[in-house]
Copies of this chain bind each other. A is one copy, B any other.
Amino acid sequence: MRVLLIEDDTVLGAAVRDQITADGHSIDWAKRLDEAGQYLDVAAYDLILLDLMLPDGRGQPFLRALRKRGDVTPVIILTALDQISDRIEGLNAGADDYMVKPFDLSELSARLGAVARRYAGNPNPLVTLGDLQVDLAAHSVHRAGKPVSLTAREWVLFEAFVQRPQQLLSKAQLEERLYSFESEIESNTIEVHVSRLRKKLGRERIETVRGMGYRLGAP
């Protein structure tokens, strides 16, 4: 399941992100509404977690706009404001559920599970890129109808590209995705993994931008 988290609190946000990835879902984390808008422009999500108080505006109008343009993605509101009026406003704006901070991470898991169950049985959405078919939930890739098996690292890398198609990703960004800071890798690991990906998925799939990074080529 793909989740979009819109939350400016870095501590809470990190905790939520970790919990959700531990539950086996993938997550994108926007810290501002405009950033969230960018994510929504390029990808579809199965669930949105929305904080109501954000640096560049309140969540309700954002949610209202989302619904107005026909987006029916389930939305769970996260907020410190436990006032009933906010709750009502949130539900009026089109939220599906509501959680008041501070909340238990296990409770979050429970609600996630409820949403996920609603999706169980439905086929997963497929992303198509030329002759590639990508099932982000199942972590599977098919090339010309035949399954391609990717290793853990390869998948993480490829997922980064698929989630941000057309977008230029620097090696630093990719390294962070693979190794999350801690170990400053100083060899050409990324290049090697990109090379292996290309061998499996097709040479022209990932294009290199000299001195800058890589980008998923247009279908």
Q: 5 closest pairs, A vs B, by CB? A: A152-B211, A139-B168, A24-B173, A138-B167, A81-B110
Docked pose: A118 CA to B105 CA in angstroms: 11
Chain A, interface size category, equals 35 or more
Q: Is the CB of B81 within 8 A of A113?
A: yes
CB neighbours (8 Å) of A118 from chain B are 104
- The chain B residue sitting closest to A114, CB to CB, is B102
Docked pose: A140 CA to B213 CA in angstroms: 13
Chain A positions 106-152 with a Cβ under 8 Å from a chain B Cβ: 106-107, 109-110, 113-114, 117-118, 120, 124, 135, 137-140, 147, 149, 151-152
Q: Is the CB of B110 within 8 A of A102?
A: yes
- The chain B residue sitting closest to A169, CB to CB, is B24
Docked pose: A23 CA to B174 CA in angstroms: 10
Asked if A43 is at the interface of the complex by the 8 Å CB criterion, the answer is: no
Q: Given A170-B24, A173-B23, A120 and B211 touching (CB < 8 A)?
A: no
